[in-house]
Amino acid sequence: MSAGVAGAEERRTQSPPIGGVFELDLAAVLEAQDAPARFPEAQSVTSGRTALAILAEEVPGPWLLPAYLCDSVVQPLRRAGIPFDFYPVGVDLRPRLDELERSVESQSPAAILVVDYFGFPPAPEDAAR
Apex CA 42: angle with CA 100 and CA 118, to 5°? Answer: 45
pLDDT tens digits, one per residue of 25-73: 777 766 666 677 777 888 888 888 999 999 999 998 899 999 998 888 8
Q: What is the pLDDT of residue 56?
A: 93
Cis peptide before 62 (omega within 30 of 0): yes
Q: Based on the structure, what is the number of domains in the chain?
A: 1
Full residue range of the structural domain in which residue 49 is found: 3-128
- Mean pLDDT across the stretch 105-127? 81
Q: Dihedral angle at the C-alpha atoms of 35, 40, 42, 46, nearest 10 degrees?
A: 60
Provide the CATH number for the domain around residue 65: 3.40.640.10
